[in-house]
């Protein structure tokens, strides 16, 4: 019986790593930081519309997670929900391919409208998928290697996303507009279909018998109870909120290196490569380290790296300083995403985990939405170093809360 569990665990571990890898390849062809903003910029020169790509993605992904938590707490299986919801975050890429192909016929205005409809659909689909997916992974992966799994999956995603980004760049340069975008979105859809097949191979065991709806407290009462009884989780929320402001500087590093410190586009590409390689290596290493040492201490390493990246950027006399800046950014990104995601899953009993996951993501939405806007305002008003100094200050406060108020939670 035990050997059967081990065999099933290995199978689930493998197919879900492959799911993440193929998903990463797809995002390389339809990146939310490069390809999609470039597509929107080809339809309009409005910086607001370009910025809305990130805003829609964040709002759609984070907002639904809390509100479906009570419903998820009554489920014994999560995979069926994941498979239905994740279609809603994958099909819109095929829709974007159709929109791009039809631009000569429908024009730019309708292209923008339909593109944002697709992006909104995709973001909400991702938001509904995120919570049950994390709960499913928590069920099928042994707890002693859960963070290692998240690290390996994120490393595979980043590695293949980097490869996909290189190929997509070549396609965008060499194929006439708008068929270049149509093709990259179509290729992304292909890899998402392969990813979906690996995800569908997951073997999920039955979960605990859920509490009846009549015996379950309301969402708001459950939240209030957690706020009253779990100060450790409140401290974690404080870390997540301050972390969003500590990381806001990273959105402006490449722009500052090119526009203010004289880096060429090629050198900016090398900086991006340093970030990607750092992310791949650190996801593997820090994921393993968190499982074998301490989630909290690894998070402290990540926040220290966040502080160092911002300080170095603020003091940089030349763009060469941005190589270590990007290295430290890869460490902080890994800690605040991969390690934090696994750490949140250690909170609460099984029936409470959907609520903890939902709160950890939805409650920080206003701050993740506001932080890059604040960073842009500081940069416009006082210069980019002001944004970097503000991020370094937020990182210090984040580290204080993490060190003195958050305890290791198994």
Long-range CB pairs of 110-116 (<8 Å, 24+ gap) are: 111/43, 112/40, 112/43, 112/44, 112/49, 115/39, 115/40, 115/43, 116/52, 116/56
Q: How far apart are CA 286 and CA 110, in angstroms?
A: 45
pLDDT tier, 217 (very low <50, low <70, confident <90, very high otherwise):
low
- Residue whose tokens read 């519309």: 49
* 153-162, 236-245, 294-303: least confident range: 153-162
Query: What was the pLDDT predicted at 47?
Result: 59
Query: What was the pLDDT predicted at 216?
Result: 60
Q: What is the pLDDT of residues 358-371, one digit of tens each?
A: 898 889 988 988 88
Q: What is the pLDDT of residues 50-89, one digit of tens each?
A: 767 777 888 888 888 888 888 887 888 889 999 999 999 9
Neighbour-count burial of 369, counting CB atoms closer than 10 A to its CB (0-12 exposed, 13-18 middle, 19+ buried): middle
Query: What was the pLDDT predicted at 90?
Result: 96
Query: What was the pLDDT predicted at 181?
Result: 92
pLDDT tier, 20 (very low <50, low <70, confident <90, very high otherwise):
very high
pTM: 0.83
Q: Whole-number mean pLDDT of the chain?
A: 87
CB 184 within 8 A of CB 317: no
Query: What was the pLDDT predicted at 1?
Result: 59
Indicate if the pLDDT at residue 45 is higher than 80.
no
CB 312 within 8 A of CB 321: yes
Asked if the peptide bond before residue 178 counts as cis, ω within 30 degrees of 0, the response is yes
Query: What was the pLDDT predicted at 302?
Result: 95
Query: What was the pLDDT predicted at 274?
Result: 81
Q: What is the pLDDT of residues 271-289, one digit of tens each?
A: 777 888 888 899 899 999 9
Indicate if the pLDDT at residue 34 is higher than 80.
no
Task: Supply 117's token pair.
Answer: 């409809």
Q: What is the pLDDT of residues 171-216, one digit of tens each?
A: 888 889 899 999 999 999 999 999 999 999 999 887 665 555 555 6
Q: How far apart are CA 126 and CA 285, in angstroms?
A: 27
Domains delineated in the chain: 1-201 (1.20.1250.20), 217-410 (1.20.1250.20)
Indicate if the pLDDT at residue 410 is higher than 80.
no
Helix, strand and coil percent figures for the chain, each rounded to 5: 85, 0, 15
Query: What was the pLDDT predicted at 21?
Result: 94
Query: What was the pLDDT predicted at 352?
Result: 84
What share of the chain in percent tops pLDDT 90?
A: 46
Query: What was the pLDDT predicted at 395?
Result: 96
Task: Supply 68's token pair.
Answer: 């479906």
> Closest Cα partner for 408 from 339, 305, 361, 350?
339
């Amino acid at each position: 019986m035990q050997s059967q569990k081990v065999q099933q665990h290995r199978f689930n571990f493998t197919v879900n790593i492959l799911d993440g890898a193929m998903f990463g390849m797809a995002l390389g062809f339809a990146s939310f930081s490069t390809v999609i903003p470039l597509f929107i910029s080809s339809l309009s020169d409005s910086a607001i519309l370009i910025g809305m790509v990130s805003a829609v993605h964040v709002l759609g992904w984070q907002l639904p997670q809390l509100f479906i938590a009570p419903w998820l707490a009554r489920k014994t299986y999560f995979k069926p929900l994941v498979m239905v919801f994740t279609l809603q975050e994958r099909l819109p890429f095929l829709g974007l391919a159709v929109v791009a192909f039809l631009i000569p016929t429908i024009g730019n205005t309708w292209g923008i409208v339909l593109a944002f409809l697709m992006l909104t659909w995709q973001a909400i689909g991702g938001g509904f998928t995120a919570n049950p997916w994390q709960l499913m992974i928590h069920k099928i992966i042994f707890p002693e290697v859960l963070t290692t799994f998240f690290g390996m999956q994120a490393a595979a995603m980043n590695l293949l996303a980097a490869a996909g980004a290189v190929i997509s760049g070549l396609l965008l340069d060499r194929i006439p507009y708008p068929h270049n975008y149509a093709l990259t979105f179509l290729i992304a859809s292909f890899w998402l279909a392969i990813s979906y097949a690996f995800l569908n191979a997951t073997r999920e065991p039955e979960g605990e018998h859920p509490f009846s709806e009549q015996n379950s407290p309301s969402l708001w009462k459950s939240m209030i109870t957690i706020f009253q009884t779990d100060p450790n989780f409140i401290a974690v929320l404080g870390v997540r909120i301050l972390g969003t402001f500590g990381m806001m500087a990273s959105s402006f590093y490449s722009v500052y290196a090119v526009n203010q410190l004289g880096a060429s586009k090629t050198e900016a590409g090398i900086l991006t490569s340093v970030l990607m390689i750092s992310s791949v290596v650190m996801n593997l290493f820090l994921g393993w380290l968190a499982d074998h040492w301490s989630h909290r201490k690894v998070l402290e390493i990540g926040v220290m790296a966040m502080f160092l990246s911002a300080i170095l950027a603020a003091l940089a006399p030349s763009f060469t300083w941005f190589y270590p800046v990007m290295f430290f950014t890869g460490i902080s990104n890994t800690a605040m995403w991969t390690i934090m995601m696994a750490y949140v899953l250690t909170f609460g009993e099984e029936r409470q985990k959907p609520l903890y996951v939902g709160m950890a993501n939805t409650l920080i939405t206003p701050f993740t939405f506001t932080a890059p806007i604040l960073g842009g305002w500081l940069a416009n008003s006082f210069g980019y170093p002001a944004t970097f100094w503000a991020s370094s200050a937020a990182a210090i406060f984040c580290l204080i809360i993490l060190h003195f108020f958050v305890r290791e939670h198994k």
